[in-house]
Amino acid sequence: MKEIKYVVSNPNGVHARPCALLAQCCTNFRSQITVSVEEETASAQNVLELMALHAKKGDTLEIRIEGTDEEQAYKAVLQVLEHSFNEKKTAELLKIAFFGTKDYDRIFFSELSRDKGEGTYNCEIKYFSSNLGPETAGMAKGYDAVCVFVNDNVSRPVIEQLHDNGVRLILLRCAGFNNVDLEAAREYGLTVLRVPAYSPYAVAEHAMAILQEANRRLHKAYNKVRDNNFALSGLLGMDLHNKVAGIVGTGKIGICMARICKGYGMTVLGWDAYPNKALEEEGLLTYVEKEELFRRADLISLHAPLFPTTHHIVNAETIAMMKNTVMLVNTARGGLVDTEALIAALKQGKFHAVALDVYEGEDDNVYTDRSDQAIAEDITARLLMFPQVVMTSHQAFFTREAMQAIAVVTMENARNFNEGNDYGDAEVRA
């Protein structure tokens, strides 16, 4: 076990930003890391618990690190303490309009932004439940930045309005940016910053969870048992062991999914526009042409970004290449799959299982409660007709760890913009 004792010297105590950076650092390690102040103890991986310690100047932080990578964690924690716990603010207050927010957004962001003293993000946030779009862009007047999510509309007309209203920065609290007109942002001088990575484990674990739900018909089994029906008819699944998994897109999330599939005892094939040969050298997967992947795979998991080259990468032609018993899961972007072609194939008895966290036509439904309404959207209704289809509500990212990381990186992006620091991988260029 490693121990660190750190006396708080900042006159304003331990504020939001150092707590956030410490938590973000500690989530990278397997070791158990705790922080104690007098009788109170918090998990070092949880920013809200750290802030609840209310450590003030003169308090001693007792940090305990225990686990297989404690030496590496110890060094990383020392670096955070040295570089992030005594900084001073130099920039003016940055005003940010947050669009399309829910209660959970406000929990994670408000704690990070509320302080305006030393060592904080120096941001003022106004939350709007409305999504950003042509009708709501005027609400950003008087703000320096807007913060948006995957279902906000950041098209050219919206960007023109934002520019006219004095907005200089578009913060994406997500990795994808296909809803932003980057060319228009460049023309009008707006900086676009995203969250390049938050928790690839969250997305990959959700992909396997809903895939297994569809494969083993767990959604049907749950409802049958609730109706006092314990018959096994309609619940037949298949083993994943000794099957072939095809990973389309081998970035951080795709790698996590490949490791999960490997753990099931699957042979893993990969396709990516830019193959990572180190993954082959490690023995994790074998790269093949996407046509071969579609032909051989028993499970196809989509993790590619949505570009013109990947739009409808799953279409009538590629579906025809697939096995009739193939399983398909999409936790990336709806536009990767031609939904009409998918429905047509389902009608013909193709696919043992289809698991969709995203799909074309989801925009009007994402993060809305329509439980008191009939399903009016045709694509959703047709997909839900098929017993082998499972759908979730664009929630693959939605874990405590991911939300924490999204909040921290987004606020770091705001701070870097405000103080003229380097953006790193967060900047999105046209």
Q: How many of the other CB atoms lie within 10 Å of CB of 242?
A: 10
The pair of three-digit structure tokens given for residue 204, joined into one six-digit string: 């990959």
Active-site annotation holder among 15, 206, 303, 333: 333
Which of 302, 324, 261 has its CA nearest to residue 396? Answer: 302
Told to judge if 394 belongs to the known catalytic residues of this protein, a careful annotator would answer: yes
Told to judge if 362 belongs to the known catalytic residues of this protein, a careful annotator would answer: yes
Active-site annotation holder among 362, 382, 412, 415: 362
Containing 207, the helix (H) or strand (E) segment is helix 200-215
Active-site annotation holder among 382, 394, 412, 415: 394
Containing 42, the helix (H) or strand (E) segment is strand 40-43
Q: In what order do the strands lie in the sheet with 2-7?
A: 2-7, 60-66, 32-37, 40-43
Q: How many of the other CB atoms lie within 10 Å of CB of 212?
A: 19
393 phi, psi to nearest 5 deg:
-100, 60
Burial 308-321 (b: 16+ CB within 10 A, else e): eebebbbeeebbee
Contacts of 205 (CB under 8 A, 6+ apart): 256, 260
Contacts of 168 (CB under 8 A, 6+ apart): 144, 145, 189, 190, 191, 417
Contact (Cβ atoms closer than 8 angstroms) between residue 212 and residue 186? no
The 3-state DSSP class for residue 351 equals coil
Told to judge if 311 belongs to the known catalytic residues of this protein, a careful annotator would answer: no
Q: How far apart are CA 94 and CA 113, in angstroms?
A: 10
Q: How many of the other CB atoms lie within 10 Å of CB of 6?
A: 18
Contact (Cβ atoms closer than 8 angstroms) between residue 40 and residue 75? no
Catalytic residues: 333, 362, 394
